[in-house]
Amino acid sequence: MTKRGLQSVSQSINSTTAGRGCTFLLAAFAFTSSAFGQEIKAEVVSSFVWGEDSPFGAISSIIQDPLTGDAIHKLRYGPVEVSSRIGFERVNPDEVGTYLNYTTTIVNGSDSTLSVRYGGITIDGRGVPLPWVILPDKKLKKRERKSKSSVVEPDKMQCFTSGFLSHDHFFSADGSSQTLDVYPKTALTVSSVVRDPRSYPLRCSVDGCHPVGTIRYYLTVNSQDYVFVWPGRSAIYCGK
């Protein structure tokens, strides 16, 4: 390829990137050569990050829960709206540790079915795996329970039994790659639970306790990643 041809490809890519505003474009280029020339392939994946808006990307907003006054973060892009809320509770009174629980609602205002997949979560930049979620109609034998490094039962967790977070759907270690469908003009809510891996995850004062650091998680809706960034101090204590 000539120098002029390479400059043309570069200008095209730069133009596309600028037009997407705050949308992050991750381009993977595969170069293959043949006897007749060179071929360039590119795959682009985009992400919308709450709080990082532009006229060309998703729009961030905060609303207050009408019953509790707690904050709900929203990202809206076209006819799709994705909202997030987050809470925490102690593992149990006799054990040091904290669960971070979060719920995401996807509202599909389009005429097409949306697919939703689990993305991931980091706490202060550290990736945290999903646990095995055991629902009331799914019991583990003692031998199976011992073989699982992390097991949670939402029906025994205050954040869910109190109604603060939804228990309609869950992402679990045994189905983290599953795809959920959101049909046109409907909504779907899915929740996740992780155990904070840090030795000292909470900071306490006369006003109460809250997680320290930053919690960042995302879901993929069709080909778009919706990323929510929560300061630990914004997480709501929903335990006993």
Question: What global pTM score does this model have?
Answer: 0.76
Contacts of 184 (CB under 8 A, 6+ apart): 108, 110, 111, 112, 113
The kind and range of the H/E element at 200 are none
Strands 236-237, 80-92: pairing is parallel
In the chain, what are the domain boundaries? 3-45, 50-237
pLDDT of residue 6: 44
Residues recorded for the chain: 240
Sign of CA dihedral 159, 165, 166, 169: negative
pLDDT, greater one: 8 or 163: 163
Nearest partner of 47 among 29, 26, 76, judged by Cα: 26
Q: Locate 133 and state its tokens.
A: 């979620």
pLDDT, tens digit (0-9, with 9 covering 90-100), for 191-219: 999 999 998 889 988 888 899 999 999 99
Long-range residue pairs from 75-79, CB within 8 A, at least 24 positions apart, any chain:
75/48, 75/50, 75/226, 75/228, 77/48, 77/224, 78/110, 79/108, 79/109, 79/110
pLDDT, tens digit (0-9, with 9 covering 90-100), for 3-55: 445 444 444 444 444 444 444 433 333 333 333 344 434 444 489 999 999 88
Question: Strand, helix or coil at 88?
Answer: strand
- Phi/psi at 107 (5° precision): -105, 120
Nearest partner of 174 among 156, 146, 150, judged by Cα: 150
